[in-house]
Amino acid sequence: MNSETAPAPDRGRLKMADIARMAGVSISTVSRDLPLIFSSTRS
């Protein structure tokens, strides 16, 4: 797969990076809030 023949390879990479970044942020937020969720449901 040659990046020079692919249409707008930079845009595709940027989009994947943005998706990965958003996914990482959401995962870190959920993992950070998990103890609060578990403690609130337990009590």
Whether 36 and 42 have beta carbons less than 8 Å apart is answered as: no
pLDDT of residue 14: 78
Which pLDDT score is estimated for 5? 59
Q: Is 43 a residue whose pLDDT tops 70?
A: no
What is the number of residues in the chain?
Answer: 43
Residues 8, 10, 17, 15, CA torsion sign: negative
The string of pLDDT tens digits covering residues 4-33 is: 555 666 667 778 889 888 888 888 888 888
Residue with tokens 């845009």: 11
Under 8 Å between Cβ of 6 and 12: yes
